[in-house]
């Protein structure tokens, strides 16, 4: 599972900080199309564990002090930009198979 979390967010957060977990999960095994998924009020470690359990291809953890879930949903309009490994927008994740930023919400 690729981690699209911005490294600065991890440095600025404590291990107990809560945030929103965002995932892209293959719609079909081995396919390029992804389904978005999320989990609310989780720590970074929980985000990674949940992503593994859901067989996510990509995960991103957004701490609440960076952006709330409601704001993530409002500000994901910029998804669709090309990506190499990460997406700038908090609510967008890089579908590395298609090389495009996609919404998880």
d(CA 83, CA 5): 14
Q: How confident is the model at residue 105 (pLDDT cuts 50, 70, 90)?
A: confident
Query: Per the confidence metrics, is the pTM higher than 0.75?
Result: yes
Q: Which residues pair with 63 in a beta bridge?
A: 19
Other C-beta atoms lying within 10 Å of the C-beta of residue 63? 21
Mean pLDDT over 69-79 rounds to: 82
> Residue 88 above 90 pLDDT?
no
pLDDT value, residue 77: 67
- The DSSP letter of residue 41 is E
> Residue 42 above 90 pLDDT?
yes
Long-range CB contact pairs, 80-86, < 8 A, 24+: 85/2, 85/4, 86/4, 86/6
């Amino acid at each position: 599972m690729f981690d699209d979390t911005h490294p600065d967010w991890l440095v600025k957060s404590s291990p107990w900080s809560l945030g929103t977990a965002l995932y892209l999960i293959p719609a079909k095994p081995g396919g390029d199309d992804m389904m978005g998924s999320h989990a609310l009020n989780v720590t970074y470690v929980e985000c990674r564990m949940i992503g593994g359990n859901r067989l996510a291809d990509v995960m991103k953890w957004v701490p609440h002090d960076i952006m709330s879930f409601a704001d993530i949903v409002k500000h994901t309009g910029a998804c669709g930009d090309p990506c190499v490994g990460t997406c700038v927008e908090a609510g967008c994740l890089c579908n590395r198979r298609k090389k495009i930023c996609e919404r998880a919400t």
